[in-house]
Chain A
Amino acid sequence: MSELEHYTLTINGEERQVADAWIGESLLYVLRERLGLPGSKGACEQGECGSCTVYVDNAAVCSCLVMAATAVGTQIATVEGLNQDGTLTDVQQAFVSEGAVQCGFCTPGLVMAVHHLLDHNGTPNEQEIKEALSGNICRCTGYGRIFAAVDSVIAVRKRTAS
């Protein structure tokens, strides 16, 4: 194709070159297909399901709705950036232990959404949890075990803090 672009993105603290890219590519496509970061998933391509959730300058966004070339100069964080020391985060561990994972396609996006919630509100009530996760669709679990995972993280963090 013609109209090819070169630009640099900052992802999980690292500068990544994007070469010979079509200008219309979404951040989700560039992460997955050009930069080898397939953890963000594409399930609706219109910002309804949250499977592609990443942080751009600490805001949780659907990467399918962001043109990659417009994210130059921002700090982008993806699910792959959560485990740079090789261990699971408390949220990830709780998802595994509490049965919040079935097919797992929504899971990376939900893990990002839960971290984002708890980073901004350490003691959310039931409605706040449901509202914060309502942009992430899970088709397998009916959300029950996901709520259990969130509750267990909050409880453990509270115990650890006191």
Chain B
Amino acid sequence: MTFTKTQRDILGSSALRPDGVSKVQGDFAFSSDLHAENMLWGATLRSPHPYARIISIDLSGAWKIAGVECVITAEDVPGQLTYGLISEDQPVFAKDFVRYMGEPVAAVAADHPETCRRALAAIRVDYEILTPLTNPEHAIDDSHEPIHPDGNIIRKQRIVHGDVNATGPIVVEGTYDIGMQDQAFLGTESALAIPDHDGAGIEVFVATQWLHEDRKQMAKCLGLPEEKVRIVLGGVGGAFGAREDISLQVHTSLLAMRTSRPVKMQYGREESFFGHVHRHPAQIWMRHHANTDGRIVKIEARFVFDGGAYSSTSSAVLINGVTHTQGPYQCPNAIVDGYATRTNNPPCGAMRGFGVVQACFAHEGQMDKLAAATGIDEVEIRLRNVIHTGDTMITGQVLESVAPLERCIRETAAMPLPPEMEAEPHELDLPGGSGRTAERRNIVRGIGWGVSMKNLMYSEGFDDYSTARCTLDNGSVVLKFATSEVGQGFVTLAPQIARSVLGVDDVTYDTIDTQIGSAGSTSASRQTWMSGGAVDGACRMVRERLFEHVGALHGVDPLRLAIDDTDVIDTIGTLRISVQEASANFSVSETYEYHHRPTQDLDDNGQGNCHVAFAFVAHRAVVDVDVELGLVKVVQIATAQDVGRVLNPMSVIGQIEGGIAQGLGLAVMEEIIVTNGIVRNPSFTDYLLPTALDAPQVLISMIEEPDPQAPMGAKGVGEAPCISVTPAIVAAIRNATGKSIDRCPVRPQDICF
């Protein structure tokens, strides 16, 4: 694919990342690269048990080690002892009980990471080991004592819509299991906390997705007013949801405040597996009733999302899951029960796709069963049921977003299939790759489909607004926002917006910190829409002020002025003056807060206008499977995605290809294996991630039908790519093997046995 480079880096051009040059040279400062004079290192002691009572903690051994400056436990937390994104149920340090393997118990600060390690080893914790609750069904049936004062159910939600007794001549059902996926960002959690000289405040450089939410939670636990906690975005090495919850923020800050010295904390990879929430493992049962023409009459479903020990965003993930039961299909009648459970498994929360990944795996498995039962092919069955703008969803909400799903499916179907595997293929083209384990004669090709819709922005009445400031000064623009740049490219997009609106080319952005209002989280495919909307709004306000200035200087009504390329022009006169010249010795600054339209809570029957907007996508997967050994190679993914409007083609392609790789990981490689609450594979040796050899050919069509509700017409593109690609790959494996595989990731034993 080649990208057109326009002369100006405005909207629609493949503008290059402003941080690209520093990143290729290795001098971009990630949070883990930061240092301060007189700095100490921090480290965390974690529970080896999934569930235990803490009888005693003896810190004396740690204090005796030379170089140790501070040792802290729950006793030392000056403010609120617990925190959380939605419900504040997670202890800063475990106090009486540990509820998951890896839960923080104590922290140390010392002169060297190795001193920290020795200090942690010298802390003695006596535990009374308890029987962990690890089966989410036991949380639901109340057969295990409450493991937390808030009980073992984080949330349950029912959806009842239409005629619950409706049925059809075709009935298909299935139970689908989705494994626990890790975000596996490459830059592990890290922060540098610098205490104020007077000890009354703290400045923290941290890799996060949402600076203001971090600040709010940290201030409460640190017992400080929010204005005494300043958060600066440290360079972020990927996020994918795992940085939505705080991890080491309070620990690092507390150590710095206690020692009055800067403290840096950085997780290793193994610790990172315990230091952040994961994608919820889920079990979903669905029963579809349909007419003989394949049209869905009713869906019954039951969702169980295992939230693990603390609630994090489980309640919102649950709502995303159950409200996407129908997928991007019309469904007049539904009855759905959903549970988010508390267990002694690792806490789960946000990951790219946020509940919809799980729902989609189930509803797409069902669509293939429906196709088989009716004898209609996989593409046609989906086209017959496609949802359209104006249709009512099972929540009673009317779909208002532009919904070009039919086009997505048809354009995907029209893309060329890959050539058959050669008779004597290169060994790297065989499933199993360089291990040279597969035999050509055992290889069967399969094709599968997955389509999905995904909500954009936060739901259920939450006002996740964003703030931006635009300053035009002497022909140059500086933007200010607290939007976390995690790699997605908002720092590329924001200047493109300003160049388009203001006709100025010299656009930079200020430090990303809490010295301006919240931008909300870099999640839910929301920053192009929300922070893009805020930057667009601020630039438009500045443009009006510029027109007033030019109008006054030249005696023209400002309402007649417009920006044409890099000039201010009089639309019905002859005035044409460059913005550069027009803004000489002129300075103006405007701040804009962008809010999406209000949404509502769901009622007890799951009815309500709970979502803001939706994006759509289709995926077709081609796989080669060695049916003897159970090895899979994903050969090709074809996709057409509803993007609204393409603001930066190269960035969109990057999001689509990257999302597909993560969805491929969930389909055939990635799973955190937990047995009885114990995590078995917390390393990159044992948790397998897609490499260059696993990358399939990707064919992409970006469907542009600008959404009138979206600023600039553009929908967020980050999550859609990773949602229906997983069921498409698994469907292709079913197609190749003839096996009924209802779980992901698909393991060799699921194919062979």
Contact = CB atoms under 8 A, between A and B. Distances in A.
Interface of A: 1, 22, 24-25, 29, 32, 38-46, 48-49, 51, 78-80, 82-83, 88, 92-93, 95-99, 101-108, 111, 127, 129-131, 133-148
B14 interface: yes
Nearest to B185: A139
B488 interface: yes
Contact of A137 (B115, B433, B689): B689
21 contacts: A1-B67, A32-B33, A41-B187, A42-B188, A45-B269, A49-B186, A92-B25, A96-B17, A96-B20, A97-B16, A102-B487, A103-B187, A104-B20, A111-B24, A131-B428, A131-B692, A131-B693, A134-B434, A134-B693, A144-B653, A145-B657
A146 B692 contact: yes
B658 A101 contact: no
A111 B14 CA distance: 22
Interface of B: 1, 3, 14, 16-17, 19-21, 23-30, 32-33, 66-67, 112-115, 184-188, 235-240, 268-269, 426, 428-429, 433-434, 486-489, 650-651, 653-654, 657-662, 683-685, 689-693, 695, 698
A96 B24 contact: yes
Looking at chain A's contact residues, the main secondary structure is loop
Given A38-B33, A103-B185, A142-B660, 16 more contacts: A42-B32, A49-B186, A96-B17, A102-B238, A107-B24, A130-B695, A131-B692, A133-B692, A134-B434, A136-B691, A136-B692, A140-B658, A141-B658, A142-B661, A143-B692, A147-B692
Contact of B428 (A32, A101, A127): A127
Contacts of B489: 102
Contact of B186 (A41, A80, A101, A135): A41
Of B21, B486, B684, B691, the most chain A CB neighbours within 10 A belong to B691
B393 to A, nearest CB: 31
Nearest to B20: A96
A25 B114 CA distance: 9
Given A131-B428, A131-B434, A24 B114 contact: yes
Given A105-B186, A139-B240, A145-B657, A127 B112 contact: no
Contacts of A140: 238, 487, 654, 658
A145 B14 CA distance: 13
Nearest to A107: B23
Contacts of B17: 96, 99, 101
Nearest to A150: B692
B235 to A, nearest CB: 8
Given A103-B238, A145-B654, A88 B684 contact: no
B24 A141 contact: no
Contacts of A48: 683-685
Nearest to A37: B26
A127 B426 contact: yes
B31 to A, nearest CB: 11
B interface: dominant SS: loop
Nearest to A105: B237
A139 B693 contact: no
A101 B24 contact: yes
Contacts of A127: 426, 428-429
A39 B26 contact: yes
B34 to A, nearest CB: 9
Contacts of B113: 29
A106 B186 CA distance: 7
A46 B269 CA distance: 9
A83 B25 CA distance: 7
Contacts of B660: 142
A144 B486 contact: no
Given A96-B16, A127-B426, A103 B24 contact: no
Given A44-B684, A49-B186, A133-B692, A101 B20 contact: yes
B654 A102 contact: yes
B20 A134 contact: no
A29 B252 CA distance: 20
Contacts of B33: 32, 38
Given A88-B21, A134-B693, A141 B654 contact: yes
Contacts of A22: 112, 114
A102 B488 contact: yes
A35 B114 CA distance: 18
Nearest to A79: B26
B26 A108 contact: yes
B24 A130 contact: no
A32 to B, nearest CB: 8
A21 B306 CA distance: 46
Max chain A C-beta neighbours (<10 A), residue from B115, B434, B654: B654
Given A99-B653, A136-B692, A139-B184, A104 B28 contact: yes
B709 to A, nearest CB: 27
B238 to A, nearest CB: 4
Nearest to B487: A103
Contacts of B21: 88, 92, 96
A144 B676 CA distance: 39
Nearest to A152: B2
Contacts of A134: 433-434, 691-693
A145 B32 contact: no
A43 B692 contact: no
A134 to B, nearest CB: 4
A46 B26 CA distance: 20
A51 B186 contact: yes
Contact of B112 (A1, A41, A145): A1
B17 to A, nearest CB: 6
B20, B113, B650, B693, most chain A CB atoms within 10 A? B20
Contacts of A79: 25-26
Contacts of B16: 96-97, 99
A82 B24 CA distance: 10
Contacts of B237: 41, 43, 103-105
A38 B685 contact: no
B268 A104 contact: no
